[in-house]
Structure 1
């Protein structure tokens, strides 16, 4: 009985660590996405400012 309780505690600890690892990974991915969005907006603004986005007909 005690061994079973200990195994259950260990399983719970492993699951907590896994959840924490996944949460950190998700946060990192969200930060990376936000950074990419900012870079994209800056690039689009630069293209508009320099006129590179215009075709020869415009």
Structure 2
């Protein structure tokens, strides 16, 4: 991030405050709600399996209707 050039007459306390002000506006990721990628992949595979089973069920029902 670009930083304003400070006036040589500014105090170290002001420079610290200005840096803190800029850094407080930068969002940080919260580590408490993060999960490893393996967990997300397992969830996706589980959901994909449910969708696959639902598709096969509906497909067989449709096939039976066509045969009648």
Larger CA Rg, structure 1 vs 2 = 2
Counterpart for residue 31 of structure 1: 64
Q: What is the number of residues matched between the two proteins?
A: 34
TM-score (norm 2): 0.47
Q: Which has the higher contact order (CA 8 A, sep 6+)?
A: 2
Q: Which of the numbers 37, 40, 61 marks the counterpart of 1:4? A: 37
| Structure with greater proportional helix content | 1
CA distance in 1 between partners of 2:42 and 2:60 (Å): 27
Mind listing any 5+ residue stretches in structure 1 that lack a counterpart?
36-58
Q: Please tell me whether residue 14 in structure 1 is matched to residue 47 in structure 2.
A: yes
Mind listing any 5+ residue stretches in structure 2 that lack a counterpart?
1-34
TM-score (norm 1): 0.55
CA distance in 1 between partners of 2:47 and 2:36 (Å): 16
Aligned-residue Cα RMSD (Å) equals 1.1
